[in-house]
Structure formats: C-alpha cells, structure tokens
Amino acid sequence: MLSFHKSQIIKKNEFKKTPGVIKAALVGNPNVGKTTLFNRLTGSAQYVGNWPGVTVERKEGTVRDSRGRIEIVDLPGVYSLSPFSSEEIITRNYILENNADLIINIIDATNIERNLYLTTQLLEFDAPVLIVLNMSDLLKRRGKIINFCEFENIIGVSVVSISAVKNFGIESLIDKIFDISNNKFKSENFDKFKRNIYGSDIENKINKIRYFFNNLGKKFKNERFIFLKILENDQLVISSLKLNYENIKQINAIRISNTLELEEKIAKERYAYAIKICSKIIIDESKIQKTKISRKIDKIITGKYTAIPIFLFIVIAIFYSAFGPMGSFLENSARFIITHGIAEPIKILLNQIGANYVIQGFVSAVLNGIGEVIAFLPQILILFGALSLLEDSGYMARGAFIIDSFMRKIGLSGKAFVPLVMGFGCNVPAILSTRILENKNEKKMAIFLIPFMSCGAKMPVYLLFINIFFPNHKVLVLISIYFLGIVLATLSSLLFKRIFFDPYASFIMELPDYKWPSLQNLYLHVWERTKDFLERAGTLIFGSVIIVWFLQSFNLKFKFIQDSSQSILAFFGNLIAPIFRLCGFGNWKASVSLLTGMISKETIVSTMAVVYGSEELTLKKTILQEFSASAAIAFLVFVLIYLPCISAISVMRKELGSRSLTILALLYQTSIAWLVSVLVFQFSKYFLLVFRRI
C-alpha cells in the first residue's frame, strides 16, 4: 500500500505551474471509457479492456497544441476515494500530493447516478474539476437527453459531452481545458454546490473540525476533503496528522452521531444528492423501451442452463478458428514464405560467395531457429484477436459472473477470473492485474495459480509437437492441454484454500452493456501482442539462438566440432538429463531446450531448431526419432506447468512482496510439472492406443 505522507497534508504548497503546461489528472469509475479517452488525447498505444480494473497503474501522455501543452495522467479507475483498495489509495494520493492543475472527471452518461458518487468527492479538492460525459450518444439512443445548462448550473463546474470511441467532442474538450487554465473554470454556484451535498449536521461537524485545527494553528491544502475523511474515520489521514491522545479524543467527540454511523450517513447523503441531480438533468424522451437490450441478451448468455454451454461453445470456436483448417493454412503459408522466401535465398547467397562453413552453419541455425517460432505467429494472433473481441464486447465480465459460484468453491471470487484469463495471453500482465483484487490473500492465491494458465509463448512448442505427432487432432490435443492446466489450477487452489482462504472476501463486478468491439482497440491489442512477439524474436530468441549455437558448436576446450554430443551444451545437458528420465525425455537436447525456455518459452522451439537439426525436415525427423508419442505428451505437459519465464518470476516477486513465497511458488510449480509429466508418460501408452482409434 502507498504511504500517506504527513508533509503532503499539513504543508500548504503553492501551485508551481510551468508556463504553457497544464497538468491534468484523468479520474473516473472503472469501465467508463477513461483509457479510450486517454488514447484519443495522447495517441498512446495502450490496450483497453472492457472490465473494471484494467488500468492498474497510472499512464502519462501529452497533448500538444499551439496554445500550450497538456500533460495527462490516467489514474486507476475507482468507485470512491475511501482507502479500501490500492487503486483508491493511488488515485487519492496522486491528487493530494501532485498539485494537478485540473481534475478531469470522466462519467458514463448512461449511468450518471452511480458515477456522481465519486464526483462529489472530487469536488471537495481545491483543484478545479472538469466533468466529461462520455457515451452521451448511447444515452440518446435510449430515448434520453441531458440538460447540460442545468447540469452546469447545479454542479457549478464545466461539463463537456464526448464519445471517446467515436472520436466525437475531443476538440471541444481540449478547448475547455485551455479555458479552465485561464481561470474560467469556476461559477458562483461551485461553493454553493459543495454546501448542498450534505445536511446541516455534517456541515456543522465540518465547521467544528475546521475550528479545532485553526485553534491548533494548522492549515491544510484540500482541507474540506481532509476534514470529511476525518469524519469518515479514515485512518490513513488521521494517523498522518500525528495527533496526541487528547486531540483524537476531541475529534471523536465531534464525530459522535445520534442516528447512523457517520461514515454511512455521509455516503447516504452523497448518493441522495446524486439522485437529486439526475432527476433534474436527465430528460426521458421515450418511455417505450424500459428494458435494456443487454439485459435481454443476458437472460440467455448468463442463463442458468445456457451460460455454461455457450461459454464452452465460444472457447471451442476460438480454438477451432485458430488451429483448425484456417489456422493450419496460415501457418503453412508463413513457414513457406520464411523458408523459401527468406532463409533459402540467404543460404544460397552465402554458398555462392564461398562463405566459411562455420558462418554458413551459424546463419542457418539463426534463420531456422527464429523462423520456426515466427511461423506460428498467425495462429497466435488469431487467438489474441478472439480474446480481445470477447473483452471489448463485454462478454469477459460475464465470464467472471458465470464462473463466480465455482470460483468461490475453490477459495476465489469471480473477479479473480479476469487475471486468470489474462494468463492465457501472458503471465506478466496477468500477475500485474491481480491488483484489482482488494483481498491480499485472494491476490496471493491468484498469483500462485496464474502460471497454470498456458501463456501464448508456449503455443509454438505445442504446435511443433502436435504437427509432428498428432496432425489430425490439433484442436482436440490443444484443448486438452489447456484443460489440464485449468484442472491442475483447480486442484492446487483446493490446497491453497487452506492457506489463503478468506471467508470475508467480496466480489463486486459491474456487468457493462454489450457493445460492438472497437476496431481501434482490436488493432491496439493485436499490434501490442505482435510487437511483443517480434521484439522477443529479435532480442531474447535471437540472443538465445546465438548462445545455443556457440555452446553446441564448441567443446570444453573451445574447439569447433561437428559432433554436437561432444559440445559444451551436451556436457551441461547430460548433467540434468537424468532428472527427466522417468518423464521419457531424459536426453541432453530436450534438457537444454527446457533450460533456455526459462528466458522465454518460444526459445524452446528455437533451441530445438538448432540442436535437433538445421532444416525443418531434419528437425521433424530427429524429434520423431528421439521422442515417442508418450514422451512428446509428457514433454508438452512439463512445458505447460514448469517455471514461468524470468520476466514473470520478477513480477511475481514484486507483487507477492516476499522472496520466500516466490521461491515456494516456483518450487511447487516445478515439482508438480515433474510429477504430472512422469505420471502422463507412464500411463499415456494405454491412452494413446484408445486415442489413435478416434
């Protein structure tokens, strides 16, 4: 958790504005289009997901204009500024500590009432506030319009209407930001609005707190916000003031309420005022359609008897589209282009110019090592694109809702479904996204389980072996591998439940309306994955191929050799190979491939392309010679479960906040990988006899 610094509260700092630069903080509830607006304003290539909590850390960007520069900080989406989650503390502390010139409060126009609860708290800061109503076009489609003049008159600050997805109203928003920077932001109703939120009892207590601190000679910036937090018994604020026992006793005397608990009373009055505002500014032009289309769809999508079958159908359809006939065609096309369009011409050129055979071997190893990985890129992108469509359409949040009852049985809430599903893309952002889980024990448990979710980097390994051993059953084998990971995660959760389970863990997740996926979001998501994949191929994979080629081309005396079994690589591989003998792949080549896989899982394929053969045909023949079908399955199972990549381990250490817990997670992961791999190899011979008859 972030610390709340005393100096930032009791010291009255003046704004230190850079001439021509406006510092603006973008604040709003989760899932209101905040990140989409940030992308529109700054051109940032940031992925947008359609569930709460996708923006876990703040993002920064710049808007350049002839009138000056706007520096925008995209803060985590929050429902309130009470200290119940890390997102709320991050957002609150940033506003308190960074002296933003402007708070841009983005509100979902289709759900103004709920969003205004946060707005009432933002208006308690000293910084000016600009309200941005997003998705106003959707509200209009429902037969409702907003009286903007009345809204501004009541709330006392400027209001701008936009549609971030359709890029409507962005220029007007930028104009309004510059107007506000020229001190055109306040109206006479601003302070009046603050006083109207709460009843006389709360206002009297605020004045008593103010009088109390005036007598102590303490002055505050954002004093109204701080006084209200004191009344709400916010321990982060109270402890930061370093008050003595007598002072705290006097404050508690002021806090005494004759009716409800003061925190509850303040919250109720905020909600009541939000309802009052909505009743005055929203005009319902059509009362014909009261039931939302999304709710009608949800009767089927999340129905008691239809939810699970539809969920399974969608999963199978995604796998079939990625790895069925279309995916295979794209893979073969990519491999043909890489082999015949790039690799072979380079090899022919080197041969014609009489390049040294060592150089030719090195270039051939690099081209085949990287090419073997890139050949699977089209299928991986289809999978990522399909997941992006599910996220952006609003279905992913339904998945969390559908699976909540099951998740609770294994010690998690439905909200944990989000980072677990993200694990199928990449474990690194999945582990980072566990920050949306307010409960610490649930977060730790989710981090322990995420590595069981097969990340996209393992896909080239699966496809390489499946193409060799099970070419007629690609979809079935792939689904089985993913399903095994889910089963092992479930069984592990039952074990971890005894350690991490918290019976008071809550699950609050908003189900957003269904919407057509944004092409921009789809492009950004797929491009980010493609860029990440290509960067890995150009850095980690390229580097590992060079190291592997060198180690398998020289012996311990650093003499170039033709027989790789005498190489440095074989020496170290043979040291660890006995560990995998019971798994069925106890040879040095498989062992060193798994070692390089700790850098990134794609490097397993590139390493195999180097140590098993320089050409695709040789690679397949060699693997067929050295692996039985049972050993191939056991190898895939081990790759599915064993240690995640170094990047994921680093993030895991940071998020768990404990070296011992991280080591425990890694030891557990590797032990389970070895044990399950052994069991699969020993028993798969019998299953394969049945499987081959399918």
In tens, the pLDDT along 373-398 reads 777 678 778 877 887 787 777 777 77
Tell me whether residue 81 is in a domain. Answer: yes
State the pLDDT confidence band at 613, using cuts at 50, 70 and 90.
Answer: low
Do 407 and 364 lie in a common domain? yes
Do 208 and 248 lie in a common domain? yes
| Reported pTM | 0.56
Do 230 and 355 lie in a common domain? no
Domain boundary among 290, 321, 344: 290
Report which secondary-structure segment, H or E, holds 625.
helix 616-626
Tell me whether residue 515 is in a domain. Answer: no
Q: Which pLDDT belongs to residue 218?
A: 77
Do 461 and 554 lie in a common domain? yes
Q: Which pLDDT belongs to residue 455?
A: 82
Closest CA to 427 of 650, 149, 139: 650
Instruction: State the Cα–Cα distance between residues 411 and 408, nearest whole angstrom.
Output: 5
Distances (CA, A) of 434 to 198, 430, 447, 448: 36, 7, 7, 11
State the pLDDT confidence band at 438, using cuts at 50, 70 and 90.
Answer: low
Tell me whether residue 142 is in a domain. Answer: yes
Q: Which pLDDT belongs to residue 638?
A: 95
DSSP characters over 78-128:
-S-SSTTSHHHHHHHHHHHHS--SEEEEEEEGGGHHHHHHHHHHHTTSSS-
Q: Which pLDDT belongs to residue 84?
A: 65
Tell me whether residue 521 is in a domain. Answer: no
pLDDT at 464 over 90: no
Q: Which pLDDT belongs to residue 521?
A: 75
Do 64 and 26 lie in a common domain? yes
Closest CA to 39 of 520, 530, 526: 520
The region of weakest confidence among 116-130, 246-260, 598-612, 632-646 is: 246-260
Do 221 and 316 lie in a common domain? no
Do 220 and 366 lie in a common domain? no
Domain boundary among 290, 325, 344: 290
Tell me whether residue 298 is in a domain. Answer: no
Do 317 and 254 lie in a common domain? no
Q: 586-604 burial, b if ≥16 CB within 10 A, otherwise e? A: bbbbbbbbbbbbebbbbbb
Closest CA to 342 of 363, 367, 366: 367
Tell me whether residue 195 is in a domain. Answer: yes
For 639-690, write each residue's pLDDT tens digit.
999 988 887 888 788 888 888 888 998 999 999 999 999 999 888 766 655 5
Tell me whether residue 547 is in a domain. Answer: yes
Do 197 and 326 lie in a common domain? no
Number of domains in the chain: 2
Q: Report which of residues 668 and 21 the model is more confident about.
A: 668
For 117-174, write each residue's pLDDT tens digit.
898 888 888 788 899 998 877 777 766 778 888 888 888 888 888 888 888 888 888 8
Do 180 and 75 lie in a common domain? yes
Q: What is the mean pLDDT of the chain?
A: 77
Closest CA to 473 of 616, 319, 336, 311: 319
For 186-229, write each residue's pLDDT tens digit.
444 445 555 578 888 888 888 888 888 888 777 777 788 888 88
Tell me whether residue 126 is in a domain. Answer: yes
Do 369 and 500 lie in a common domain? yes
CATH number, domain containing residue 180: 3.40.50.300
Domain boundary among 244, 259, 290: 290
Q: What is the mean pLDDT of residues 548-558?
A: 80
Q: Which pLDDT belongs to residue 14?
A: 34
Domain with 145, as residue range(s), is: 1-290
Do 348 and 257 lie in a common domain? no
**What is the amino acid identity at position 537?**
A
